[in-house]
């Protein structure tokens, strides 16, 4: 049986800087038994497959998962796709499945395409933890750990509306449809933007997680919509591409941008003034929690079915506050 608890906290830092921290957690006790329950967590073989290996969001998650697994004496290794693509992630999944680990943490790059493989792995006895992204089939995974992405989208909308003086056109550029996290961000953003009658939301564009595509998309949007006042970038690579595109178009700082994530290029762009708001997640907490939940399952303890991790809205005004900068993503462990 499941019990649900959630907590949302809005903090306004000194200097009117907007800081939002959100925690949400839905817990459920699961049996946590099965092949892994005997002998505890030590020496259990756990694997992590991330969305994109070189993405600082996933690097930060991997480092934290690795540290936690090491502290628990687990046998840990991680890999990730070279790009955001089902056909690239699938072979990684197949090869991990063949090795039959005790636990697998995975960020599936699509909400449905990998579900049959994941169900098969699960039925072979591997305990699955979904980290960051999820699949629509709720029977997949003993636990799901992520930010409240819809809430993050709403925060981005309110921040952007304020920066645009609540008028003009706004566009969302994101990865691709069928990604749980970014779809939820778009949903939250567009629903919240509907509260601003003088802001027109243009149709969403998708860049396939390629910064160069986002850069050219923002430049053609500017040409077609001279009243463009704001952009919501759905993730890291999109944020980077938009910052570059606006710089090339001479619109840096004129067109306001709220972007998800806080990898080094994005924080540099925030400092330089080509991005105005970053909605940072806590990928380290996602990685650590995933290992902890798998360990609980191995030990036959209750497992939380869903765990929410914090986010923080970062601006140039608060980015030097250690309570905020601790959310910056790392490009190496």
Cα gap 125→298, rounded to integer Å: 11
Cβ closest to ligand T6T, residue 134 vs residue 169: 134
CB of 247 to ligand T6T, least distance (A): 20
| Interface map 160-189 toward ligand T6T (x if CB under 6 A) | ---------------------x--------
Q: Is 235 in the site for ligand T6T (CB under 6 A)?
A: yes
Which residues, including other chains, have CB under 8 Å from residue 309's CB and lie 6 or more apart?
23, 145, 146, 147, 281, 282, 285, 286, 289
Which stretch in 51-59, 199-207, 251-259, 316-324 sits in contact with ligand T6T by CB under 6 A? 51-59
CB of 182 to ligand T6T, least distance (A): 6
Distance linking the first and last C-alpha atoms of the chain = 38
User: What is the enclosing helix (H) or strand (E) of 286?
Assistant: helix 283-298
Cα gap 242→148, rounded to integer Å: 23
Cβ closest to ligand T6T, residue 161 vs residue 233: 233
Among 68, 110, 132, 148, binds ligand T6T (CB under 6 A): 132
CB of 281 to ligand T6T, least distance (A): 6
Among 57, 196, 232, 298, binds ligand T6T (CB under 6 A): 57
Query: Residues 37, 38, 43, CA angle at the centre, nearest 5°?
Result: 90
Q: Is 236 in the site for ligand T6T (CB under 6 A)?
A: yes
- How remote is the C-alpha of 76 from its chain's centroid? 22
Q: Is 22 in the site for ligand T6T (CB under 6 A)?
A: no
DSSP letter, residue 132: S
Contact 321, 256 (CB under 8 A): no
Binding stretches for ligand T6T (CB under 6 A): 51, 55, 57-58, 132-133, 181, 235-237, 260-261, 281
């Amino acid at each position: 049986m499941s019990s649900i608890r959630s907590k949302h906290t809005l903090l306004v830092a000194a200097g009117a800087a907007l800081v939002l921290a959100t925690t949400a957690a839905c817990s459920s006790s699961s049996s946590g038994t099965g092949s892994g329950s005997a002998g505890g967590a030590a020496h259990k073989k756990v694997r992590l497959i991330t969305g994109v290996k070189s993405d600082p969001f996933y690097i930060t998650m991997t480092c934290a998962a690795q540290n936690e697994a090491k502290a628990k004496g687990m046998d840990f290794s991680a890999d990730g796709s070279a790009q955001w693509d089902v056909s690239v992630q699938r072979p990684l999944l197949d090869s991990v499945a063949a090795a039959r680990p005790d636990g697998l943490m995975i960020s599936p790059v699509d909400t449905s395409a990998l579900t049959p493989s994941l169900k098969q792995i699960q039925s072979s006895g591997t305990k699955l933890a979904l980290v960051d992204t999820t699949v629509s089939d709720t029977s997949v995974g003993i636990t799901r750990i992520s930010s409240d992405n819809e809430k993050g989208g709403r925060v981005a909308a309110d921040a952007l509306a304020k920066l645009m003086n609540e008028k003009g056109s706004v566009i969302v550029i994101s990865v691709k449809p069928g990604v749980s996290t970014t779809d939820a961000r778009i949903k939250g953003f567009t629903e919240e933007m509907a509260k601003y009658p003088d802001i027109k939301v243009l149709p969403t564009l998708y860049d396939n997680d390629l910064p160069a595509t986002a850069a050219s998309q923002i430049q053609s949007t500017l040409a077609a919509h001279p009243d463009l006042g704001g952009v919501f970038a759905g993730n890291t690579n999109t944020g980077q591409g938009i910052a570059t595109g606006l710089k090339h178009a001479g619109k840096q700082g004129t067109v306001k941008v709220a972007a998800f994530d806080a990898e080094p290029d994005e924080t540099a762009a925030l400092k330089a003034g080509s991005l105005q708001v970053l909605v940072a997640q806590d990928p380290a907490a996602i990685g650590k929690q995933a290992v902890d939940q798998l360990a609980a399952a191995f030990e036959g303890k209750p497992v939380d079915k869903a765990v929410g991790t914090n986010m923080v809205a970062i601006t140039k005004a608060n980015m030097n506050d250690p309570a905020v900068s601790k959310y910056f993503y790392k490009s190496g462990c």
